């Protein structure tokens, strides 16, 4: 099976391609079927960020931890990040961030450079991923972004309205039968990134096929008759005005 598809591949050929890849999988310890990693050379990653409050009354959200996992759910990046402004609210109950974590945190600019290098040319999966990109002060290409909070087929599988805004925690419980974000010690960005990737993989073939069908058709290039071009060139209406005046 070819490891890549032509940009002009039809939705049906995309579906067959994905099905073939998935059928070659040898299973996963995480309970989701997967294709051979040799056929997916780092094309997909999932991201999750934790934020703390800065600025007046801690109302600004700044990056304090970022985790990135690969298609198989293995951690490829997980670091604490020192915000650019002083931290006013650690939001520990939700972020899991404490003052202790900031002792070895790296500066935001350094983290941003490292993370964006990983995301470059990747298909990036996440849940309500616009919040993560906002924390990174970054915009990823829309056609390479897969937001699990905006995949109707996930909601439908869970028996929920297709356009409803469903939390990662709820989707994980309905579709993966696992509990996440429990307790009062905050979220784990690694766990959340892995969960988003598992959810995406659950409906990958169907979702990618639907995405391919929704793409607008490419405009066809006009056929230019070279004789028409030369005829127009010889027509004096296309000649420069000063040249026309000098020839009179």
What secondary structure does DSSP assign to 62-78, as a single string?
A: EEEEEEEEETT--EEEE
Give the model's pLDDT for residue 197.
96
Give the rounded distance of the alpha carbon of 228 from its chain centre. 47
* Tokens read off for 95: 């972020």
Asked if the model's pLDDT at residue 172 lies above 60, the reply is yes
pLDDT tens string 206-245: 998 888 888 776 666 555 555 544 444 444 444 555 545 5
Asked if the model's pLDDT at residue 182 lies above 60, the reply is yes
Give the model's pLDDT for residue 177.
87
- Tell me the pTM: 0.71
Give the model's pLDDT for residue 211.
87
Crossing angle of the two packed helices 108-119 and 129-136, in degrees rounded to 10: 130
Asked if the model's pLDDT at residue 115 lies above 50, the reply is yes
**What is the mean predicted confidence (pLDDT) over 99-112?**
96
CATH annotation of 42-214: 3.30.420.10
**What is the mean predicted confidence (pLDDT) over 103-108?**
96
**DSSP bridge partners of 67:** 48, 78
Q: Check residue 15 and report its DSSP letter.
A: H
pLDDT tens string 138-155: 999 999 999 999 999 999
**DSSP bridge partners of 48:** 67
Helix (H) or strand (E) holding 205: helix 204-214
Q: Where are the domains of the chain?
A: 42-214
3-state secondary structure (DSSP) of residue 29: coil
Asked if the model's pLDDT at residue 37 lies above 50, the reply is no
**Contacts by 105-108 with C-beta closer than 8 Å and gap 24+?**
105/64, 105/79, 105/80, 105/81, 106/79, 106/80, 106/81, 106/82, 107/81, 107/82, 108/62, 108/63, 108/81, 108/82, 108/83, 108/84
Give the model's pLDDT for residue 148.
95
**Contacts by 102-111 with C-beta closer than 8 Å and gap 24+?**
102/64, 104/80, 105/64, 105/79, 105/80, 105/81, 106/79, 106/80, 106/81, 106/82, 107/81, 107/82, 108/62, 108/63, 108/81, 108/82, 108/83, 108/84, 111/63, 111/66, 111/79, 111/81
Give the model's pLDDT for residue 102.
95
Query: How many angstroms separate the CA atoms of 19 and 206, rounded?
Result: 10
**What does the mean pLDDT of the chain come to?**
79
Cα(first)–Cα(last) distance of the chain, in Å?
69
Asked if the model's pLDDT at residue 59 lies above 50, the reply is yes
Sequence-separated (6 or more) residues with CB below 8 Å from residue 74? none
């Amino acid at each position: 099976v070819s490891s890549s598809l032509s940009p002009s591949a039809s939705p049906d050929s995309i579906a067959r391609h994905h099905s073939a890849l998935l059928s070659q999988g040898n299973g996963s310890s995480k309970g989701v079927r997967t294709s051979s990693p040799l056929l997916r050379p780092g094309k997909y990653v999932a991201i999750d960020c934790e934020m703390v409050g800065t600025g007046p009354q801690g109302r600004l959200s700044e990056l304090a931890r970022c985790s990135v996992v690969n298609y198989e759910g293995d951690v490829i990046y997980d670091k604490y990040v020192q915000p650019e402004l002083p931290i006013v609210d650690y939001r520990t109950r939700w972020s899991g961030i404490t003052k202790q974590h900031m002792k070895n945190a790296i500066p935001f600019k350094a983290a941003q450079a490292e993370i964006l290098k990983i995301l470059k040319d990747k298909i990036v999966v996440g849940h309500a991923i616009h919040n993560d990109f906002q924390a990174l002060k970054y915009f990823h290409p829309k056609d390479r972004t897969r937001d699990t909070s905006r995949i109707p087929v996930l909601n439908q599988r869970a028996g929920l309205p297709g356009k409803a805004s469903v939390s990662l925690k709820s989707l994980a419980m309905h579709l993966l039968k696992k509990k996440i974000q429990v307790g009062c010690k905050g979220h784990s960005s690694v766990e959340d990134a892995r969960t988003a990737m598992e959810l995406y993989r659950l409906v990958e073939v169907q979702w990618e096929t639907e995405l391919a069908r929704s793409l607008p058709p490419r405009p066809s290039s006009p056929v230019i008759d070279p004789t028409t071009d030369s005829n127009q060139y010889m027509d004096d209406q296309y000649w420069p005005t000063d040249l026309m005046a000098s020839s009179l």
